[in-house]
Amino acid sequence: MGNAQLEQMVKRMGKPSVYMLTGGFEHLVEKSGGELLGFTFRGYVGDCLLVIRSEYNEKKMVAFVGGVTAAGCLCAAEEKLRNGGLKWRPDRYAESE
């Protein structure tokens, strides 16, 4: 990816990324009836996976969003959370209480 492409991508994705990292995740998950427990990024240059952990109805859940960059993952996650398109699954690796 060239510098010009990267600059355009940052301009397009910058605001959603900042929003999501400054309370947007928490707000959108709460709006859908859940509680955000945390999120992590995994991957390499050119391949990123965002792992979102939450709790719905006292059940630990996890969702995955892939992208080329962390900013791309954030934008996709925001869109999916707003439109109800994020697929939550039971978190098999959640610590039992």
**DSSP states along the chain:** --HHHHHHHHHHHHHHHHHIIIIIHHHHHHHTT-EEEEEEEEEETTEEEEEEEEEETTEEEEEEEEESSHHHHHHHHHHHHHHT----EE-TTSPP-
In tens, the pLDDT along 18-56 reads 677 778 888 889 998 999 999 999 987 789 999 999 999
Q: What pTM value is reported for the model? A: 0.78
The domain ranges of the chain are: 3-90
In tens, the pLDDT along 76-90 reads 998 899 899 999 999
